[in-house]
Structure 1
Amino acid sequence: MHPSRFVILIVPSHVETRGTASVADSAVRSALVEATGETGETGYPRYAGHGIVADVDPRTRTVEALLVDGTELDYGLTALIAPEE
């Protein structure tokens, strides 16, 4: 069974060494996405919410495909799954 929801964070790609800031603090956008019950073009489950549609590999918690407000992610931005609390 796949998780029913994830929080996706959109962060600048250069934010790899962010010091003491958390990934969430570095995000330029975040959204709670919920499972749609569909499989995306990548073969992974599709999640959607708050203008974001994503195919997510639930095993590795990796965003495999993403649309933000109907368009691809801008160059220099990365989509991550927020750490579980």
Structure 2
Amino acid sequence: MTTEPQRFEILLVPGHIENLRGADAADRALRSAVVEATGETGASGYPRYRGQGLEADIDPRTRTVEALLVDGAELDYGLTALVAPDRRR
């Protein structure tokens, strides 16, 4: 049994709003996708998640996107990938 989350929502936001105080990244996301664990480990050494055109290596402890492909390509310059806050808390 794994204790790692089995799914995350990834938000793609313009990089310039990443640290904007009071801004909710989910409201400013250009794209979002729910990715699910594949059971694989990515080249980064973190668990691999896949879904809705995104493939990501995510550190489940820090909720950081360590590697990302969007529709099979690298993330466009100026965009930042974030894991959406866990709204169940």
Q: TM-score range by the shorter chain?
A: over 0.9
SS at match of 1:3: coil
Q: TM-score, normalised by structure 2?
A: 0.91
**What is the aligned partner in structure 2 of residue 75 from structure 1?**
77
What runs of 5+ residues in structure 2 fail to find an aligned partner? none
Pick from 30, 45, 51 the counterpart of residue 28 of structure 1.
30
Q: Distance in 2 between matches of 1:3 and 1:12?
A: 26
Kindly report which structure 2 residues correspond to 1:8-27, keeping only aligned pairs within 5 A, or say none. Answer: 8-15=10-17, 16-17=19-20, 19=22, 21-27=23-29
Q: Which residue type is aligned with residue 20 of structure 2?
A: T
Q: Aligned Cα RMSD in Å?
A: 0.9
Pairwise CA distance, 1:71 = 0.1
Identity of matched residues, %: 70
SS at match of 1:46: strand
Q: TM-score, normalised by structure 1?
A: 0.95
Deviates further, 49-58 or 21-30:
21-30
Pairwise CA distance, 1:53 = 0.1
Residue 67 (structure 2) pairs with residue 65 (structure 1):
yes
Pairwise CA distance, 1:12 = 0.4
Pairwise CA distance, 1:18 = 5.5
Q: Distance in 2 between matches of 1:3 and 1:11?
A: 22
SS at match of 1:14: helix
Q: Distance in 2 between matches of 1:67 and 1:78?
A: 12
**What is the aligned partner in structure 1 of residue 48 from structure 2?**
46
Instruction: Please identify runs of 4+ aligned residues in structure 1 that moved more than 2 A.
Output: none
Aligned residues: 84
